[in-house]
Amino acid sequence: MNENSQNQVDIDKKILLCWKCSFPNRVGDKHCMFCKAPLNKRLNLISRIELFFAQRKWRKALSKRKARAKGANRFITLTIGIILFMSGCYLFTKAIFTNSFTNWMISLLFIIYGIFSIKFFLSGK
């Protein structure tokens, strides 16, 4: 069995977590980029247990960061949806008063895209 696969957990076949600090490193690296610990060190039972809990902590922090980013993206989607909907309504009223068919079509597209953006936000996907 390969020594690297014994000592580190391979994530997505591109990243190895350091046995000491759980910092993600590339597969070909010989030393950790964060703490400079050698990546090919043989681990005893205590070090393996420490590595397991450090990796759990790292993954939990990473999932929280992704959840925060998802919330920010949803807020941006809602903002864009409201702006599109409001500008579509403005263009629609302007198109009716000026009898402009092209402005009417563009305003309907804005309104439809705005509604779909707001619907996407409310669905929570």
Please indicate whether residue 95 or residue 74 has the higher confidence score (pLDDT): 95
Share of the chain above pLDDT 70, in %: 78
Strand arrangement, sheet containing 24-26: 10-11, 15-17, 24-26
- Note the pLDDT of residue 1: 42
At 88-105, the pLDDT tens digits run 999 999 999 998 888 899
At 18-34, the pLDDT tens digits run 777 777 888 778 888 88
Please indicate whether residue 2 or residue 53 has the higher confidence score (pLDDT): 53
Lowest mean pLDDT among 6-20, 22-36, 59-73, 107-121: 6-20
Give 49-56's long-range contacts (Cβ < 8 A, gap of 24+).
51/8, 51/9, 51/17, 51/19, 51/22, 54/17, 54/21, 54/22, 55/9, 55/17, 55/22
Phi, psi at residue 17, to the nearest 5°? -90, 135
Question: What is the CA angle 15-41-7, rounded to 5?
Answer: 50
Nearby residues of 109 by Cβ (< 8 Å), 6 or more positions away: 88
- Note the pLDDT of residue 64: 73
Q: Give me the chain's average pLDDT, please.
A: 78
Question: Which residue type is seen at 108?
Answer: L
The end-to-end CA distance of the chain, in Å, is: 42
Closest CA to 58 of 98, 97, 19, 102: 19
